[in-house]
Each structure stands twice: as structure tokens, then as C-alpha cells.
Amino acid sequence: MPSSAPVQGRGGLHMKRTLASFSLEGKVGVVTGGARGLGLVMGQGIVISGGNLAIVDMNKEEAERQAAELVEVFRKENPGASKVPKVTAHYADVSNADSVQECIDDVIKEHGKIDHLVTSAGFTENYNAIDYPIDRIRKLWAVNVDGTYLFAITVAKHLMERKAPGSMVFIGSMSGSIVNVPQPQAPYNSAKAAVRHLAASLAVEWAHAGIRVNCISPGYMLTALTEKILDEKPDLKRHWTSLIPQGKMGQPADLMGPVTFLLSDASQYVTGADVRVDGGYTLT
């Protein structure tokens, strides 16, 4: 068979062979904040790798639209696939424990189980620390930190009840390890540092149950929201880019590989790690 011909892999139809351990076939992944931005792209990575996906978002209508789109794209790109991943949409206020539990119950009802979790729900704001409204700080922490914690413990309980192994990936930020300049964002930086250390702490606490917990810390990524901001502030984009050794900002698709690796059996001896995807920014 010519090397360029399609071959049937465990995770779907592939143009090139890869390790079978990277496949997510037969697994169910939950992605919070999954209807847009980085969460949507990482969810797409799960689907491409053969996994079933539950998109969780405050905007359920958008989540439903993206779920249908992901399935349609998979069918077009994998016409010979024997199985099409199941993609569903779910609502959750990640900062509310009852809402999180209802969401997880809904996912289990639809998929029968959960194997993987990616916590991508989060946001940032730029205020000088002395001017930052306390209600905004509490909201930022509620989404970025509380939301990560609530989804993690709820999924962990499910995995422990099943006596099943699982893998979680928390989406942190390089801001959890360094202080960004010139924009002021002390509470966000602190929140992402909490997410990173939460991943390490839970990795140790849940290792006995076969639950792995890792963190991905993106650098400056060209999401639609970021591009809108930088269109208005071209000097800021030049400043950021000048500090990145690779000389460019990242693309959301750059997170597909790391998240698939950390969710899959290819990383079964990796837990508590912080994978920085930043073009070398934090090395300088």
C-alpha cells in the first residue's frame, strides 16, 4: 500500500500511522468551556482521536451547534470510519456545585460513563490591583479555581465508584508561573497558579485510584477574542511576540497534541505535570 494512502487506525481514519496508545477510542471526555476558543479546539482533538465528547458551556445553544459541527466535520474527513464519535452538549455554571452535579449526571445519562476531563472554562481581566473590584475577583476565582475543583472532584467520585482509571487535564496558564507584562492581572495570575498546584495536589491524592491529573499552561494564543483585542492594540502584539523565542504567538490547534497525549494511555506514567505550551516564553 502506498504510504500516502489512508489506513484504518484505532482512533479513526488516518493518513499516517501513529502509536495505538494515543487513541481515545471508546473513551468519553468532558470539556468545560468547550463551545468556543481553546476548549472547542481541544474537544475537537478528542473527537479526531476517536473519543466521544461532552461539551459543557454556559451557552448550551452554542455548545449544541458546535457539537453538530464536530460530528459533521468528522464524517467528512473520515468517510471510511466504521464508528462516528458521539458528541453532546450540556449546560453548567462551573462555579455552582449543584449545577456541576446536574451536568455530570446528564453526561453520564447520555454517554453511560466519563473517562476524561478537561477544565477549560475560565477568563481573565486586566485591572490594577488596587482598583480591582472585589466582586470581580471573586467571580474570576469562582470560575477559574472553584470550577476546576468542582468538576474534578465530581468526576473523580464517578471514576472511584466505577473503580475505573481516568485522566484529567486542567487548563492553567504560563501566568501561573510568571508575571505577565505590561498588563496588570494579579488575581488571574494567582488563580492560574492555584490551578497548577491543584493539579499536582490531586495527582498525588488520587494516584492510588488510577486517576491521573496534569496541567497544560498555554502562552499567548491567537484565539478569536485575543485577535480582537490585539487588532485594537497592535503595539501590544509586537511587544508580546518580541518576548517569545519562537517569534510568534500560538494557535489554538497547538494544544490538540498535548491534551490528547495527556488524556491517552501514551502518558500513563505522567501525572502532576505542568506542560507549558508557550513557544519558549517562560524560558527567557
By CB neighbour count within 10 A (0-12 exposed, 13-18 middle, 19+ buried), where does 237 fall? Answer: middle
Q: CA-CA distance, 180 to 210, in Å (whole number)?
A: 35
- Identify whether 182 is preceded by a cis peptide bond (ω within 30 of 0): yes
Question: Among residues 49, 95, 173, 264, which one is catalytic?
Answer: 173
Angle at 222 between CA 217 and CA 224, to 5 degrees: 120
C-alpha cell of 112?
Answer: 453511560
Reply yes or no on whether 173 is catalytic: yes
Question: Among residues 149, 188, 220, 281, which one is catalytic?
Answer: 188
Q: CA-CA distance, 117 to 98, in Å (whole number)?
A: 18
Angle at 246 between CA 183 and CA 172, to 5 degrees: 50
Question: Among residues 23, 95, 192, 267, which one is catalytic?
Answer: 192
Active site residues: 173, 188, 192
